[in-house]
Amino acid sequence: MPIIIRLDRVMADRKVSLNELAEKIDLTNVNLSLLKTGKVKGIRFNTLEAICRELKCQPGDILEYKEEDK
């Protein structure tokens, strides 16, 4: 998949745990864990907004595009 999720890196930089962030953005631990590990097909903008607000970051800090090798 050409979109790489860097949420774990941003959370580690901010010293925020999965449980703490999930509670602050009103998302289940399971859903946030799936997002963090890149096992989702999409993300709602309001969820992305809440994550960026709590982690004080930009969407580009969390999501990265990498072209696939052909």
The answer to whether residue 11 sits within a structural domain is: yes
Structurally, how many domains does the chain consist of?
A: 1
Q: How far is CA 55 from the centre of its chain?
A: 10
CATH number of the domain where residue 31 is located: 1.10.260.40
The answer to whether residue 19 sits within a structural domain is: yes
Q: Are strands 63-65 and 3-5 parallel, antiparallel or unpaired?
A: antiparallel
**Residue 57: Cβ-neighbour burial (10 angstroms; 0-12, 13-18, 19+):** middle
The answer to whether residue 70 sits within a structural domain is: no
Residues whose CB is less than 8 angstroms from the CB of residue 15 and which lie 6 or more positions away in sequence, other chains included? none
The answer to whether residue 35 sits within a structural domain is: yes
Parent domain of 41: 3-65
**Global pTM value:** 0.89
pLDDT tens-digit map of 18-44? 999 999 999 999 999 999 999 999 999
How many angstroms separate the Cα of 7 from the Cα of each of 27, 69, 70?
A: 14, 23, 27
**Selected residue with higher pLDDT from 69 and 24:** 24
